[in-house]
Amino acid sequence: MRFLLGVLVGYSLRGKQKLLIRFLVTLALVVYVVIPAIALLGLSIDVQRERRSRPAQTKVPVIKGLTYEDAERKLHAANLKIRLLATRYDSALQPRLIIDQVPAPGEEVAVGYSVGVTISRKDFAGPGP
């Protein structure tokens, strides 16, 4: 780049070789402006294509503390599914309340993703004798 600018300045100060100056200016414009612009345009098109190929995303709503049925309705409204991961005995809670959820509320997931839940139960099914 410095060499090319030096040649351009030198020839333009002397006023000689006008054809060479035009050629070098054209060459500089093509190399430093046109080619990078074409490359960036191609990159922009690739990025747009990649973004369109991604599945649609939605945020996981808060369902802790809801009954299983209410959580199922809320997830369905958010275009998500529910999956029972575990049940846990808890005498302090009413049965079939959501105790935990995976993924956490607010995380972005693909539409149709299954949210895993842990629900409470009243009966204690402890270890045998």
The range of the structural domain enclosing residue 109 comes to: 57-121
How far CA 32 is from CA of 4, 22, 27, 38, 77, in Å, comes to 11, 15, 8, 11, 52
* Structural domain count of the chain: 2
Nearest to 72 by CA among 114, 106, 104: 114
Q: Are 80 and 117 found together in one domain?
A: yes
Q: Are 47 and 64 found together in one domain?
A: no
Contact 79, 47 (CB under 8 A): no
Residue 129, pLDDT above cutoff 70: no
Q: What is the mean pLDDT of residues 55-84?
A: 94
Residue 38, pLDDT above cutoff 60: yes
Q: What is the pTM of this model?
A: 0.57
Domain boundary among 53, 72, 88: 53
d(CA 43, CA 119): 48
